Each structure stands twice: as structure tokens, then as C-alpha cells.
Structure 1
């Protein structure tokens, strides 16, 4: 019996390729940053003062573990947290000067590595893949 090609398996493998490619490029560039940390930095840059739950929602990440991601970014000096004036239970997050600088430096690297993730596809196939992936996700 021939094994079926399953969407879930291909998506998992593509995620592994994406994560590995991201890690290689970050390491080559001298940064210790995971894809989730990058996504959080990018979300915080887009919405300064966002709370941790908002970051989790923006990057589709587990609310229970986003605190650890933010902790690591804070330890690296990339973000600052403060208690919200509107809700004392919430912590607002902002990029630090260092975080803004790092994000500015790595954005071109992350943009460039996107082609490496889909390196086996030509330009038209990449466009089609992105169109279909967006349709499946949104």
C-alpha cells in the first residue's frame, strides 16, 4: 500500500525547514534569536505598549508561555515591561533602544531568508504557495 501525502506532515516538515533556516541565518549573523522571539519583537514594534496577551494573540502563540518569551527578550535587553496604567494586572511591553536597533538590523536578514525556506520553488511557485498558504490560514 502506497503512503499518502498528508498536509499535516508537509506543514510540520516545512516548519522544521523554516525554523532551521532561521536559526542558521541568525547564528551566521551573530544573533541568538528564535522565530518566536523575532515575531514577538516585530509585534511589539508594530504596537508599542501592547500587553503580553496582545503579543500572544498577534503572533498566534500560547498565552501561558508568552511570558517566558518576553522574559528572554527582556534579559537580552531588547524589551522593557511596565505595569499598565489601565489594568494593573497587565504588563505593557515596548522595545528598548537596543531592541529597536537589533530589529532594524535583522529585518533585512529575515526578509532575505524567506527565499531560502522555499528554495526548491521558483518565483511563480513561491507566489502561488504564499497565496494558497494565506488562504488556508486566514
Structure 2
């Protein structure tokens, strides 16, 4: 009994790592469901999205853009090329390097999957107050992809934070009781002034 009382407790409801893991589970479940119709994994979609944003990337660039480790990405690229989604060609700048490009089939699958992934993202963001969403995305990027440029502007997060501050500083409306008390005080002050004049 004494040992149980002395055991230090850990509050999972306030643990950053635990909450991020739970959030990741929710995100993966929604995204996996959205991609099922196209037969894509979330990682495969990330590769297609990176190539759709910028054609002709090296595998090193894709590692940086997607966060997928080098050996896993190399195997993924091989399989996606065999499926006809992408192609590898020799880099015109370096004969030893390969450039990865999107093929018509890959672009078609990507465009078909995109609405479902966007809907999954929107469903996740709907769980967060609107004025906190930009800051939330920036915070995730700071943890998961600090080198990556986030499309959401810093200014949007600042505006959202400013809105919160303004709301907090907004003066509360005076109650009828307060207004009545102020009116009575005003009348009392006027009577005192009249007496002084007499």
C-alpha cells in the first residue's frame, strides 16, 4: 500500500506526446478512409502531392518535402514507378542522380483522391475554434516540419491571436442595476449642487 501511495503519477490528459499520438491516430484514420477508394496510402499520396506541387524532384528533395525516411522512400518510388504513377529519369545536372516526375496516371489518381483528403483535413480542423486553426497548423509545422515553409502566413496566426486578446479586453456590458445606480448617483449629485447654491 505504501509503495502505491509513493508512486509518481503521470497525467496523460496533459501529455504533449500522448495527445499528439491520439491526434495522429484520428488524422490517419480519416485520411486512410478517404484514400481507400483510390488504393493509396497516406505516404503515397504525400509523394504524389509533393510532385504535383513541383515537378522533377530528386529523391532527396522528396525526403525533405514528405518527411519519409530515405530507404522507405526509395522502395516506395520503385513500386509507384512500377504502378505507372511516376517515372525516374537521369538528372540533366548530375548523371548520377535521378529526377522523379508525375505521370498522367499518377496525376489522375492524385486529383481523384484530393477532395477526400481535403474533406478529412477540414473535418479535423472543425474540431478546433476557427480563430485558432492558423496557429494550430503553424505549431504542428514547428514540431513536425521546422524546415518546411508553411502556406499559412504568420500574419494570420497573429490576427487570430489579436482577436482573442480583443475579446478578452472587451468591456462587459453594464447591467440595468448598475445603470440605475449610476442614474441615482447623478440625481443625488445634482441635488447637492442645488443646495450649495441656495
TM-score normalised to structure 1 length = 0.83
- Considering only aligned residues, what root-mean-square deviation do their CA atoms show, in Å? 2.1
8 Å Cα contact 1:57/1:63 also seen in 2: no
After TM superposition, list the pairs within 5 Å mapping 1:1-138 onto structure 2.
2-4=9-11, 5-27=14-36, 30-118=37-125, 120-137=127-144, 138=146
Q: What displacement does 1:7 show?
A: 0.6
Structure number having the greater helix percentage: 2
Whole-angstrom distance in 2 between the partners of 1:41 and 1:50: 11
Provide the secondary structure at the position in 1 that maps to 2:71: coil
Question: Residue 56 of structure 2 contacts residue 100 of structure 2 at CA under 8 Å; is this kept in 1?
Answer: yes
The CA deviation string for residues 55-86 of structure 1, in whole angstroms up to 9 with x for no partner, is 11111221222111212221221111112222
Q: Is the 8 A contact 2:52 2:107 kept in 1?
A: yes
Number of residue pairs the alignment of both structures matches: 136
Contact 2:59 2:74 in 1 (8 A): yes
Question: Which runs of 5 or more residues in structure 1 are unaligned?
Answer: none
Q: Looking at both structures, which has the greater relative contact order when contacts are Cα pairs under 8 Å and sequence separation is at least 6? A: 1
**8 Å Cα contact 2:44/2:76 also seen in 1:** yes
Stretches of structure 2 that go unaligned for 5 or more consecutive residues are: 1-7, 147-198
* Structure with greater Cα Rg: 2
TM-score, L = length of structure 2:
0.61
Native 8 Å contact 2:38 2:112 kept in 1: no
Whole-angstrom distance in 1 between the partners of 2:63 and 2:139: 24
